[in-house]
Chains A and B, each alone.
Chain A
């Protein structure tokens, strides 16, 4: 079986190569657009402060995505959002042209609409003036950056294949494991319907692959009810920062796997925690295998759910985009399980964030 993968040779710049790459790249004129979100995550300004130090010349634009349920909404983490905003102002002053992009995430009837709104804005936005677009997902929720990346990748391809699109994430396993997301709405994200809900395809089996991290039992239950999958292939992190992470997850989800899903243990997939390309390859292999096997039944309808860290979700995005696979996600508000915010904002921590920036090059020069 030959597995076609458009991003097989994609460039993933791990932290130790990050600085060198960008210093070299910025020696020439680059017209850069950075898109980042305004949130409480202490990693929000890490990319900008790092990038500023690398210097360079050319256009420097910043899109600050301000997402909230309504303009009057006050977050319980307001203190830290304000702190991030002040810091960002200082960084971009006299360096970048900042534009605030307001995304109202809830509709009048309180339903989620953030994905459609960000998608609509960037579908209409002209990106042809830039040579490089950097999407910093550190303070953006998955429900926003999945549709955002889809639109940008598609536009880069349609408009000018030379526009370089990078997705940047700051990996910190400790913080990521402490962030929980409530489940106000569970649904397919804009652009990732993947023909899943069509009655005309209801006889085609749905295969679901949730990419797992801890504390997602309720989300898994809701997603299961929403998707009604025929078969499930959970992805566990291995190798990982905590070598026992996969075992811990098996213990945590034992009842769901055995009692609720009647899961075949052979279905479990392992992929490296901090390598989005490993996730990408594993998911595409699964997709091809299932498609091949179930061809006599008309193929499959595949769906991914990223309940994992942001860095691994990029791999899922790449696989979903490439094969037009559906992405279902539980959408809600993010909060920290324990109140260690002061610790996460400490100087030592913030230095560590700068040493953990990952960059994945999605379109542009390497693919010409």
Chain B
């Protein structure tokens, strides 16, 4: 049985054994390292914050630097293929030195238990947080040292082979802490930290715990300075390394803990390379939109941000790379078929038009044009004649006629009427037809009116992923399911998916994505109602006969002033504002809405909220960005509360 390689998630999450690391490294898309190459000058110098919605690829990018993954790359680089290329890139990124592993990657996830520490914190506000982080950093460091030196962490004798001493230039806090918690061999240090971690976990979890929290607190994150000032010997031989600490899912910390950690991070006093990953929600909507962490702190100097949703230039390359690796992982089962995923997807738009547009369609569009022109037909007779008698194929004629219909609708609906003898010229038609947005709008309108496939091809698949790897895998996996079925049944010829099937599969995935919002996202019911309202509004605006925002509207907006007002009211505790604010925050954090703050338009600044491209599908919207319809704050309150009210009369429109 062929397993769908796009749905296989174990590779993303398991860690620990050689087998798990092998699967992970084999499926890792090398092009993701390009995100770090842009920051190569500061990679080991200043803290790095990885930022994205869930499924953006943060954990994978960290995990590839984990000591066990690096160790596997080092060991298998000589075999060629993906690993050789990875080893080469790691050398460029200075994780390898002279083809040998140099970085001691310490990667671990922050879980929700950290915030529970807060309930026991006393005067030393973050003492327990520091204590938990210190114990886990040191435990992971000892683990990594064992892995790179072929020692078994579960074997006491192996651990005892590690000798540890502290350099003299360590800070006074580190020296004092080391006196209390440190040890001169790996086993004792590991046991002390394991006991500390165990006490902390019991304190959080056991309802009947009777210990003293103050006994467990630490004065600061001294483990960072410790790692920079440790001398390690294995059986008396020095072990040289460059520590790299990677804290994943830092958004799990409480707001207060996160602020503390970020302050430590940007204090310019962190002596070791330190990366953290955050879901956007942890920064709060405000910081998320402005990317300001703290006043006086400067991006580029004190910290560096890698925003996965903004690193768009190479997204296509990254996902195609990943898709090829995934297909390759089942190469033996799919036989001699291509291993490039895109080769399975038909991209022939021309053929669809050829197949579906005949003289009957031409006549239908023509009659619509005549109705649209009405009494003013004389003004358009010349250009109608010109289009009709052009020497072109029937399917091209249909497209031209549809564009002409839009032009006539626009002319007719102009508030200031022209004289009946004022003809629309060929030049105006030419200008209209050369507008890319109009060409796209005509394609969209025709697809809707004649039920033609619109959402297909590799290019649109990448756009529909909205710069999110997990979303791409979901879409690609659903399409690959069809390919696998054909292969299972021995019908290799049918493994090439037609535009119709692609369109239908993508529509189903998109519908599921929309319907899953109430369950999947915090404040899901509100988010669902809000998104449905935006989608309905976009659909109504997009399919207006004049196509005023060609090719369509795919987002909404509110002025930055109104947004500031919303934020303040939410902070003051106004329930209505809190609901809307949290709704927007949740939707942004889960990549359901893509924000564009401070967008300048009509002399004002707006917060534009674009729909995730996959959510354009259930509302039959185009995938291009740009078109948005601004709304008053009151309208948005109404959308969250009761949804979108369809407006029949244009005079009734709630425009800003």
| Interface residues in chain A, defined as those with a beta carbon under 8 Å from any beta carbon in chain B | 72, 76, 109-111, 116, 119-120, 123, 147, 150-151, 154, 180-185, 187-188, 190-193, 195, 197-200, 202-203, 218-219, 221, 224-225, 228, 230, 255, 258-262, 298, 332
Contact = CB atoms under 8 A, between A and B. Distances in A.
B7 A202 contact: no
A111 B119 CA distance: 13
Interface string B44-75: 00000000000000000000000000000000
Nearest to A227: B13
A200 B116 contact: no
B255 A183 contact: no
Given A197-B111, A259-B477, A116 B119 contact: yes
Interface in B122-146: 135-136, 139-140, 143
Contacts of A184: 522-524
A199 B197 contact: yes
B428 interface: no
A185 B9 contact: no
B9 A224 contact: yes
B3 A111 contact: no
A219 B516 CA distance: 11
B7 A260 contact: yes
Query: For B16, B198, B516, B582, which residue has the most chain A Cβ atoms within 10 angstroms?
Result: B16
Nearest to B1: A258
A112 B111 CA distance: 14
Contacts of A230: 14
B208 A202 contact: no
A218 B520 contact: yes
Interface stretch (B199-207, B268-276, B348-356): B199-207
A199 B9 contact: no
Given A198-B201, A218-B520, 11 more contacts: A109-B255, A110-B582, A185-B112, A193-B204, A198-B194, A198-B197, A200-B197, A224-B13, A259-B477, A260-B8, A261-B10
Contacts of B523: 184
Interface string B510-530: 000000101110111100000
A3 to B, nearest CB: 26
Contacts of A76: 525
A75 to B, nearest CB: 11
Contacts of A116: 116, 119
A200 B205 CA distance: 17
Nearest to A76: B525
Given A191-B205, A191-B206, A200 B520 contact: no
B519 A193 contact: no
Which of A150, A192, A228: most chain B Cβ within 10 A? A228
Contact of B154 (A110, A260, A298): A298
Closest CB pairs A-B (n = 3)? A200-B194, A259-B7, A193-B205
A262 B10 contact: yes
B575 interface: yes
Contacts of A260: 7-10
A42 B136 CA distance: 47
B262 to A, nearest CB: 16
B116 to A, nearest CB: 7
A197 B113 contact: yes
A190 B154 contact: no
Given A109-B254, A195-B201, A200-B198, A183 B139 contact: no
A228 B20 CA distance: 11
A118 to B, nearest CB: 10
A261 B9 CA distance: 7
B4 A190 contact: no
Contacts of B1: 258
18 contacts: A72-B575, A119-B207, A120-B207, A182-B520, A184-B523, A185-B522, A187-B111, A188-B205, A191-B206, A191-B207, A193-B201, A224-B9, A228-B14, A230-B14, A258-B3, A259-B3, A260-B7, A260-B9
Given A203-B153, A259-B8, A218 B575 contact: no
B461 interface: no
B456 interface: no
A199 B15 CA distance: 12
B644 interface: no
Nearest to B14: A228
B3 A151 contact: no
Interface in B460-485: 477
Contacts of A147: 207
A259 B326 CA distance: 12
B3 A262 contact: yes
A270 B154 CA distance: 35
B197 to A, nearest CB: 6
A150 B206 CA distance: 10
Interface in B107-121: 108, 111-113, 115-116, 119
Contact of B4 (A110, A199, A218, A259): A259
Contacts of A225: 9, 13
Nearest to B518: A182
Nearest to A194: B205
Contacts of B584: none
Nearest to A230: B14
A306 B193 CA distance: 33
Given A147-B207, A193-B113, A255 B201 contact: no
Contacts of A151: 207
A110 B525 CA distance: 15
A200 to B, nearest CB: 4
A164 B88 CA distance: 67
A315 B154 CA distance: 34
Contacts of B4: 255, 258-259
B557 to A, nearest CB: 25
Contacts of A195: 198, 201
